[in-house]
């Protein structure tokens, strides 16, 4: 079930029905247990996948690349059912607070699409605000050094796909956990998820080029195939 990526990093593909259909989560080995990165959406199938892992491995903590539904989905469940401490970025916590307030979220969405002349929202939109309704156990911020398993990583703020998106970089092994910032098979969705009037593409392009500063021999994405050297994919400049 776990696929070895490096000596200490393992990949767990968490599958579910709908949207992307799967999320790549990672487990990083440490002397006090494994650090889990991201969870998949909240549903029965993903819970079963994780139950299997949680029953067989000691998970020391959970950390999130960003707070989209398919990455944070089971975080509250990890905390409540398995007493696993959850770590989120300070920016991510702000997004969680927005995600909790379903009414305000929907109102923002409605007025955004109205302003831009798009047909109204469908009446039935899945309510997953409950996944945001918990208090994380700790926070990290831009450029923080964080320890995942036994390995030190730098938290690199990479807005665009999400305003609270982070990549985690380990310099010694030149490994980058890229989340949904760079995917092998498609361009990440650069969207207005919370219905705010922002320009996420303007954030995305410079934060994509920023990764050129971090030589990587292995890039571990949130969906799809693992990538090698990112510098072959990220070229050019942005003005």
Q: If we measure between CA atoms, which residue out of 181, 90, 222 comes closest to residue 190?
A: 181
Between 8 and 70, name the residue whose CB sits nearer to Zn ion. Answer: 70
Q: Which of the 8 DSSP states describes residue 32?
A: T
Q: CA–CA separation, 184 vs 109, rounded Å?
A: 30
Q: Are 81 and 189 in contact (CB under 8 A)?
A: no
How many residues touch Zn ion under the rule CB under 5 A: the total is 3
Between 21 and 215, name the residue whose CB sits nearer to Zn ion. Answer: 21
CB of 181 to Zn ion, least distance (A): 10
Between 115 and 225, name the residue whose CB sits nearer to Zn ion. Answer: 225
The answer to the question of residue 70 lying near Zn ion (CB under 5 A) is yes
The answer to the question of residue 222 lying near Zn ion (CB under 5 A) is yes
Q: Which of the 8 DSSP states describes residue 1?
A: -
| String marking each residue 168-207 x if it binds Zn ion according to CB under 5 A | ------------x---------------------------
Between 26 and 60, name the residue whose CB sits nearer to Zn ion. Answer: 26
Sign of CA dihedral 52, 53, 56, 59: negative
The set of residues, in sequence order, having a beta carbon less than 8 Å from that of 230 and lying 6+ positions away, is 176, 178, 182, 211, 212, 214, 216, 219
The answer to the question of residue 164 lying near Zn ion (CB under 5 A) is no
Between 70 and 95, name the residue whose CB sits nearer to Zn ion. Answer: 70
The footprint of Zn ion (CB under 5 A) covers 70, 180, 222
């Amino acid at each position: 079930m776990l696929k070895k990526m490096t000596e200490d990093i393992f990949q767990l593909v968490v599958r579910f029905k709908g949207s992307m259909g799967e999320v790549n989560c990672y487990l990083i080995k440490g002397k006090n247990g494994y650090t889990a990165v991201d969870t998949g959406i909240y549903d029965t199938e993903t819970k079963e996948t994780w139950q299997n892992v949680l029953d067989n491995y000691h998970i020391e903590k959970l950390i999130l690349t960003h707070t989209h539904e398919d990455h944070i989905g089971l975080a509250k469940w990890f905390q409540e059912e398995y007493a696993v401490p959850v770590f989120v970025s300070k920016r991510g916590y702000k997004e969680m607070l927005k995600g909790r307030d379903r009414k305000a979220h929907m109102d923002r969405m409605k007025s955004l699409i109205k302003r831009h002349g798009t047909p109204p929202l469908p009446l039935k939109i899945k309510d997953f605000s409950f996944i945001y309704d918990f208090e994380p156990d700790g926070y990290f911020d831009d450029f923080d050094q964080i320890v995942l398993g036994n390995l030190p990583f730098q938290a690199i703020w990479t807005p665009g796909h999400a305003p609270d998106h982070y990549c985690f970089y380990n310099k010694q092994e030149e490994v980058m956990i890229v989340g949904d910032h760079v995917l092998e098979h498609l361009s990440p969705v650069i969207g207005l998820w919370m219905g705010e009037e922002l320009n996420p593409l303007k954030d995305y392009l410079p934060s994509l080029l920023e990764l050129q500063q971090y030589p990587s021999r292995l890039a571990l994405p949130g969906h799809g195939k693992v990538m090698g050297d990112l510098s072959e994919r990220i070229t050019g400049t942005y003005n």
